[in-house]
């Protein structure tokens, strides 16, 4: 087993470890989980959208989407309604309050991200993004 393989192992492990350690800090800094903010962010970009379409965009399981939206609805962050023309579809939109609060969340998120990438030059960020994208593509193929 070569040294470079050990380094490769470490890369994989660090990817995993970074996620695990980031998630709780992200939430305590911003006040919301990464997935949920992603959902709100997608809603922020549109007037109204079906759960199905939203699910495709955030790319997590249907079941998780349903549960998040139900909770966001309870918190009065989003509004859901059935499409009258096709009752299978449920349409979702941000409530006025949701639209206000997401702005706050995004500010906190921005601070958080700049902490995470502290010390990274612009050029390095570009490189990193490129490498992560390549990894994502590789994983896709497996």
CA separation for the pair 39, 55 (Å, rounded)? 9
Helices 96-116 and 34-44 meet at what angle, rounded to 10? 130
**Between residues 38 and 80, which has the closer beta carbon with respect to a second copy?**
38
Is 15 a binder of a second copy (CB under 8 A)? yes
| Burial state string for 87-108 with b = 16 or more CB within 10 A and e = fewer than 16 | eeeebbbbbeebeebbeebeee
Is 117 a binder of a second copy (CB under 8 A)? yes
Which of DNA, a second copy, none binds 11 (CB below 5-8 Å, type-dependent)?
Answer: a second copy
| Length reported for the chain | 142
**Between residues 21 and 82, which has the closer beta carbon with respect to a second copy?**
21
Q: Residue 86 Cβ, how far from a second copy at the closest point, in Å?
A: 30
What would the x/- binding string for DNA be over residues 53 to 92, using CB under 7 A?
--x----xxxxxxxxxxxx--------x----xxxxxx--
Q: Residue 62 Cβ, how far from a second copy at the closest point, in Å?
A: 15
Q: How many residues bind DNA (CB under 7 A)?
A: 28
In a 13 Å sphere around the CA of 72, the CA atoms on its Cβ side amount to 30
Which of DNA, a second copy, none binds 6 (CB below 5-8 Å, type-dependent)?
Answer: none
Q: Nearest-CA neighbor of 37 among 21, 24, 22, 26?
A: 26
Question: Which contiguous run of DSSP H or E holds residue 139?
Answer: helix 122-141
Binding footprint of a second copy on the chain (CB under 8 A): 1, 4-5, 7-23, 25, 29, 34, 38, 59-60, 109-110, 112-120, 122, 124-129, 131-136, 138-142
């Amino acid at each position: 087993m070569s040294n470079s393989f050990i380094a490769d192992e470490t890369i994989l492990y660090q990817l995993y470890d970074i996620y695990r350690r980031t998630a709780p800090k992200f939430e305590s800094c911003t006040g919301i989980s990464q997935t949920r903010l992603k959902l709100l962010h997608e809603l922020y970009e549109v007037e109204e959208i079906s759960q199905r379409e939203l699910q495709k965009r955030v790319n997590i399981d249907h079941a998780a989407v349903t549960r998040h939206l139900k909770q966001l609805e309870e918190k009065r962050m989003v509004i859901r309604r059935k499409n009258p023309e096709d009752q299978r579809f449920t349409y979702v939109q941000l409530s006025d309050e949701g639209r206000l609060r997401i702005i706050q969340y995004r500010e906190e998120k921005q601070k958080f991200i700049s902490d995470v990438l502290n010390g990274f030059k612009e050029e390095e960020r570009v490189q990193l993004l490129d490498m992560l994208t390549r990894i994502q593509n590789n994983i896709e193929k497996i």
